[in-house]
Amino acid sequence: MGGVIRDPFGRTLDYVRISITDRCNFRCLYCMPANGIEWIPHEDIMTYEDIFLLVSVLSELGVKRLRFTGGEPFVRKGFVSFLQEIRRRFPSIGVAVTTNGAFLERDATLLSSLALHSVNVSLDTLHQKKFAEITRTGDLGTVLRGISALVEKGGVPVKLNTVVMRDFNLDEVAGLVRFAEANRVLLRFIEFMPLDKDVWSNRQYVSASEILSLLPDAAQWSKAPGSSETEPSMCSEIPNGPAKYFRNVKTGQDIGVISAVSDHFCHTCNRLRITSTGEVRPCLFSNRGVRIIDALRRQDSEAAREGILMAVKNKPREGGTGIPEERQLSEGVPQEKTGAFQEERHMSRIGG
């Protein structure tokens, strides 16, 4: 039984991000508040068997690609073995992983053998002191060695995701571009998003246009061929990915910019998110989800399918990704009017 998922606005949804844990060994400034968050009890998290059934249902619904996220997925025991089994059971589905990179050196050999679509590594600075500051618990050297190990092993494209913040790493844009070129990885800059009221700062936001103006040899960059629809050939992507790509006409290097705030991509969104607690979220910026973990634990694929399709019906036309005006926040304007901060939500729990 095959199919295609379409939302009420005619968008085909063939890409699903699945969080397998809310836990993380880092405490990144833009992901969770300084005092951390209370971890979800293990018994409330989807088991690997739950996820196998979930992926089976998604495959029947026409999903073409999965991305496994956290928290940090590699902190969960048995994650690499789980990936191996996913690739064995569902060879036609593209599988990608988002990670902080802390475990890549340990797992590089196995990861390189899995024919993954990509491994995305969050890397916001190349300075050890600043890295320790933003992650609160991370070691830059460990992450850099992991990136190098995975690149050297080959077999999987490596991407770097960098959230640009004005008072933190704006001065590193050019250096990060050069690092990506030297290490043969694809770099994507991401606008700082107003997802979590405990970490959002209007002052730290930097627009995509300003980021582009800071690229080295700024005049040498132009939109990469096909960049409005797909990623460059070094890292093939299904249509309607969030990044816009630019190519240096002298070096051939590609970089991406994800402008989720200044020029959001809601009209081409092709994704769903499923939290580690088995809730289907139709939009990153929406708190309306459908719980399917009970159906998964009963091994009731039809009920899980119905829950997924119910969430699809709730997918909004736009996710409210604009920057909230400080005047609105300070004057107590209802939060739904600001387009953000509808209730407490942390990226580590949603699976960003």
CATH code where residue 184 lies: 3.20.20.70
Residue 148 lies in a domain: yes
Residue 232 lies in a domain: yes
Residue-level pLDDT, tens digit, the chain, 352 residues? 468 999 999 999 999 999 999 999 887 777 766 666 788 999 999 999 999 999 999 999 999 999 999 999 999 999 999 999 999 999 999 999 999 999 999 999 999 999 999 999 999 999 999 999 889 888 999 999 999 999 999 999 999 999 999 999 999 999 999 999 999 999 999 998 765 565 556 788 999 999 999 999 999 999 998 654 445 545 444 445 789 999 999 999 999 999 988 887 788 899 999 999 999 999 987 777 999 999 999 999 999 999 999 999 999 998 764 444 443 333 333 333 334 444 444 554 555 5
Please give the structure tokens belonging to residue 212: 């582009």
Please state the domain count of the chain: 1
Residue 228 lies in a domain: yes
Beta carbons of 85 and 79 less than 8 angstroms apart: no
Residue 5 lies in a domain: no
Q: Around Cβ 210, how many Cβ atoms within 10 Å?
A: 15
Range of the domain at 91: 15-350
Residue 2 lies in a domain: no
Residue 8 lies in a domain: no
Please write down the HEC assignment for all residues of 88-138: HHCCCCEEEEEECCCCHHHHHHHHHCCCCCEEEEECCCCCHHHHHHHHCCC
Residue 3 lies in a domain: no
- Letter for the amino acid at 197? K
Buried-exposed string 261-270: b where 16+ CB fall within 10 A, e elsewhere: bbebbbeebb
Residue 218 lies in a domain: yes
Could you give the maximum distance between any two Cα atoms of the chain, in Å?
A: 58
Q: How many CA atoms lie within 13 A of 129 on its CB side?
A: 1
